[in-house]
Structure 1
Amino acid sequence: MYQKQATILSSHFGLGEHDISIKPIGNGHINTTLLLKSPTKHIVVQKLNTHVFPDPNALVNNARQIEHHLSDKKHHDAYQLEVIKHVATTDDNYLVEIDGDSWRALEFIGRSYSEDVVDNQEQAQIAANAFGQFAAALQDFDAEKLHAVIPDFHNLAMRLDALKRVIDANPVGRLSDCQHEVDFCLAQTQLLQELAELMPQLPIRACHNDTKINNMLFCNKTQQAKAVIDLDTCMPGYWMFDFGDMVRTFCSPEAEDSTNLDGVQVRENIFQAIVDGYVAPLQQIITTQEKQSFWLGAKVMSFMIGVRFLTDYIDGDNYFGTKYPTHNLDRARNQFALYRDLLNKQAQLQAILFK
């Protein structure tokens, strides 16, 4: 499907002209990610979604700043993981335009694998610790140097306003299919008040902002952490949302688009592993208010991504990639089931977090 682009990309990135192959890699919702191979070199190439990321140069600039900071830390033995690195073209650029699309290349980190669903407590703790190491290594990076590539990315009030707008417009006539979910969302206004009270007390950090389990690579040989990947949403933010996204994506034994809603639940041992793994590298850095904010982050992230899936469903699936007509609605219902289970288990989970 991408053979024409493969030939052009291979030329730009110095892979030669012969025996070039290209195939999809990973399970991202936003960018198109492919493995480009020649007999002597493998690189990861991405077609950036410029609807989501309208300024590709800002995205690459952010990611390269993070790359340089982490590489310096690694050089001084202050960061143990591998660093995802950009590949320059033969004329020293980092973006290639092909038929109006923006492409970039990243070094391929071999002998590694990713997971979409956490299997066990050890795996969860290893991944959470990797994201903790990532956060700790960036604690002395000036977050204000990063562009807001997606403004208000974790702004729940804005996400609810966007939902209300598509409810009013109902552009593709889907509202009647999801009125129950809409009513549920609009009743969760207490989260906005909690955020308004807590966020002014929190320091702004350079955050990953997409700490899904599949954005961490495991080593094939040791099954330990190898690299934190997908730096596209690295922006100024709050650690509570990175913690919350781990809870959202690690804790359920079901994939985020599973329709087995009875199986969508917070595994308490996995929650424990996230707390233990993530907090350990931050122990000497994290403020009391930040630790307290983690519970709110867990609630907000599962609810907010559900709102975003629901908004996209009503709007006609313009943001997240879908495989069938109700895919985003199924994702939304899945996330709301997880949010409800968080609330049902609040006492047990808070006891783990604040022990």
Structure 2
Amino acid sequence: MTDPAAITARFALPGRVVAVAPLGQGLINGTWRVVTTEARGVLQRLNSAVFPRPERIMANLRIVSRHLAAAPIRLPRPIPAVDGGDLVVSGGHAWRLLEHLPGITLTALRDSHDAAALGRSLGQLHRGLADLEPSRLYDTLPGFHEMVHYLAQLDRQLADGPVDVEIAPLIEFIEARRVRASALEEAGLPRRVIHGDPKLDNVLFDPRSRTPLAWIDPDTLKPGLWLWDVGDCVRSACGAAGRFDFERALALLGAWWREARPVLTRAERAWVPEAVWRLPFELGVRFLADHLAGDRYFKVGYRGENLDRARRQFALTAAIERQGGELEREWRRLSAAPGR
């Protein structure tokens, strides 16, 4: 692997590099915090197997970061290479450097107050993106969040041979929900500019007030459905170890609704509970398919980790199903209330 410190020197970050250290627990890209005598940055080695056109990712980021310049929430700005480009290509990889924004990431929500702050921030992001025409952005990940695509991937893996005993219960779980799984994409919801990966650890919080300051990891900025963002945010923040925190989910959804209501359609409002169910199911299918493919997409620490991840996501899906009726009722109550 090319030395990250040597790569950093090829970007226009002022000062002499004094420290480069791994940052975060991302499953796709390699990430390092960079400190120079005058500045800080975040260096990333983009996964070429996932993002074969990294220049398009950077073009999207420039468009969106400029569009959000006056918004209450922001994205990190790209720092140019010394040759003026967005990327440095070395060692068969594309590297980028982003500004280092202040703040901390959270591994878990502390309470419903945290959940509401997170939901409010996602609503602010969506409000800020509402008037950005999605056709201006590249679709950097065709098929991303499309259940037909992921189910087809799984089917191709299963066609290679008989199903192992340990996999069989997961396949049965998926087959019982196969028809429902694609309903969100078939609902005729408007295409928007989405973050695409609004996990809890992709938000920077003020360490004292725990107010969200910025959304990071902008690789999946692209046209899509806002409800993909909503469902994935709830999944990551309110579902741990296969358990669903109903109260925190309601706090998150209510705060998002109060911010985003002016720019939402009636159809988007109606399909929110389905998105909460769909996103953990989708991720479970993706983890299982990647396990069967030999762990090509998500980073793993041991063989079978993606299988364990799939089991946890399906357990979360089942937990949401058990509270599905109550979720529908509470969401109707929340979304009937005034917005901002």
Per the shorter chain, which TM-score range?
Answer: over 0.9
* SS at 1:347 equivalent: helix
Task: Write the distance in 2 (CA, Å) between the matches of 1:347 and 1:212.
Answer: 25
Question: Is 2:178 aligned against 1:189?
Answer: yes
| Aligned partner (choices 96, 99, 104) of residue 91 of structure 2 | 99
Q: Which amino acid aligns with 2:294?
A: G
Question: Is 2:2 aligned against 1:10?
Answer: no
Per-residue deviation, 1:50:
0.9
CA gap of 1:323–1:287, structure 2 versus 1, over 3 A, is: same
* SS at 1:37 equivalent: strand
Specify the alignment match of 1:120 in structure 2. 111
Identity value in percent? 29
* Structure 1 alignment gaps of length 5 or more: 259-263
Question: Is 2:171 aligned against 1:177?
Answer: no
Q: Which amino acid aligns with 1:195?
A: L
Specify the alignment match of 2:31 in structure 1. 33
* SS at 2:220 equivalent: coil
TM-score by length of 1: 0.89
Per-residue deviation, 1:9:
2.0
Task: Write the distance in 2 (CA, Å) between the matches of 1:193 and 1:156.
Answer: 6
Specify the alignment match of 2:156 in structure 1. 165
Q: Which amino acid aligns with 2:275?
A: G
Per-residue deviation, 1:221:
3.0
Q: Which amino acid aligns with 1:109?
A: L
Which residues of 2 match residues 80-91 of structure 1 at below 5 A? 80-91=72-83
Question: Is 2:250 aligned against 1:272?
Answer: yes
Contact kept, 8 Å, 1:175 with 1:314, in 2: the verdict is no
Specify the alignment match of 2:338 in structure 1. none
C-alpha RMSD of the superposition: 1.7
Contact kept, 8 Å, 2:65 with 2:74, in 1: the verdict is no
* SS at 1:29 equivalent: coil
Contact kept, 8 Å, 1:167 with 1:175, in 2: the verdict is no
Which residues of 2 match residues 239-318 of structure 1 at below 5 A? 239-252=226-239, 254=240, 258=241, 264-318=242-296
Task: Write the distance in 2 (CA, Å) between the matches of 1:104 and 1:41.
Answer: 16
Specify the alignment match of 2:207 in structure 1. 220
Any runs of at least 4 consecutive aligned residues in structure 1 with deviations exceeding 6 A, and if so which?
Answer: none
CA gap of 1:9–1:197, structure 2 versus 1, over 3 A, is: closer
* SS at 1:12 equivalent: coil
Per-residue deviation, 1:345:
0.3
Per-residue deviation, 1:341:
0.8
What does the per-residue CA deviation read over 1:283-316, in whole Å, with 9 as the maximum and x for residues that have no partner? 2111111011111111111100000000011111
Specify the alignment match of 1:60 in structure 2. 58
Contact kept, 8 Å, 1:205 with 1:238, in 2: the verdict is yes
Task: Write the distance in 2 (CA, Å) between the matches of 1:10 and 1:196.
Answer: 44
Q: Which amino acid aligns with 2:217?
A: D
Count of residue pairs brought into register by the alignment? 333
Contact kept, 8 Å, 1:48 with 1:103, in 2: the verdict is yes
Per-residue deviation, 1:192:
4.1
Contact kept, 8 Å, 1:125 with 1:273, in 2: the verdict is yes
Q: Which amino acid aligns with 2:23?
A: I
Q: Which amino acid aligns with 2:230?
A: F
* SS at 2:214 equivalent: strand
